[in-house]
Structure 1
Amino acid sequence: MEQFTYTIQDSAGLHARPAGLLVKCAQGCSCAVSIVFNGKTADAKRLFSVMNLNVKQNDTITFRAEGEQEQADCAKLKAFCQANL
C-alpha cells in the first residue's frame, strides 16, 4: 500500500466540480484508491462516496492506493491534487 496526504487549498473545499475531476483521475488508476478523512474512508472512484466526506478548505486528507501500480498511481493522484485542488 502506498499513501500520501494532501491539504485542500480550494476555498470551496472538495465540492462537486473538483470532486468529479478527482474521481475521473482515480478511475484512470489501475489500483484501488481510497481517501481517508476524519475517521471515514471513501472509494475515490465513486463521486458520492467522495462528496460524503464533506472536505473543506485547509482539511488534510490521506490517499491510499493498493495494487500493482500503486507508486505510479499515487504519483498521478498527487500531481492531480497539486494542479487542481
Structure 2
Amino acid sequence: MLTKTFKMTDPQGLHARPASAIVKVAKGFSSEITLVAEDRVSLKNLMKVLSQGIAPNTTFSIEISGEDEAVAMQTITDALRTEGMAEEA
C-alpha cells in the first residue's frame, strides 16, 4: 500500500470540475484508491469525494493498494497538480 499526503491549493477547495477529472483518472486503475479526509471514501466515486468538502489549505491523503499502485499514485499526484487542486504536503 502507498500513501501520500496533500494540501488543497485550490482557493475554492474541492469542487466538481477538478474532482470529476481526478475521479476519471482513478477509475482507470484496478487498484483500490481511497481518499482520506473527513472520512475514508473511494476516489472512484464522485459523490463520495465531493461529500468530503475539503477546504483550501486542508490536508488529505490518498491511499492506493493493488497491482498498479505505483503508477496510479504517480498519475493521480500529477493530475492533482495539473488540475491546480493540491500539492504534496
Q: What range is the shorter-chain TM-score in?
A: over 0.9
CA distance in 2: counterparts of 1:32 and 1:63, whole angstroms: 10
- What percentage of residue pairs aligned between the two structures are identical? 29
Structure 1: stretches of 5+ with no match in the other structure: none
Partner of 1:58: 57
CA distance in 2: counterparts of 1:24 and 1:78, whole angstroms: 14
Give me the CA root mean square deviation.
Answer: 0.8
TM-score, scaled to structure 1: 0.94
CA distance in 1: counterparts of 2:3 and 2:43, whole angstroms: 13
Given that 1:9 and 1:57 are in contact with CA atoms closer than 8 Å, whether structure 2 keeps it comes out as: yes
Q: CA deviation at 1:71?
A: 0.9
Q: CA deviation at 1:29?
A: 1.6
CA distance in 2: counterparts of 1:83 and 1:70, whole angstroms: 20
Given that 1:6 and 1:81 are in contact with CA atoms closer than 8 Å, whether structure 2 keeps it comes out as: no
Q: CA deviation at 1:66?
A: 0.7
Structure 2: stretches of 5+ with no match in the other structure: none
Deviation string, structure 1 residues 10-67 (Cα, Å, up to 9, x no partner): 11111111111111011112211010013x1111000011011110111111001110
Given that 1:29 and 1:73 are in contact with CA atoms closer than 8 Å, whether structure 2 keeps it comes out as: yes
Q: How many residues align?
A: 84
Given that 1:35 and 1:64 are in contact with CA atoms closer than 8 Å, whether structure 2 keeps it comes out as: yes
* 4+ residue runs over 2 A deviation: none
Letter in 1 for 2:58: D
Query: Map of 1:1-85 to 2, 5 A cutoff?
Result: 1-38=1-38, 40-84=39-83, 85=85
Q: CA deviation at 1:83?
A: 1.2
TM-score, scaled to structure 2: 0.90
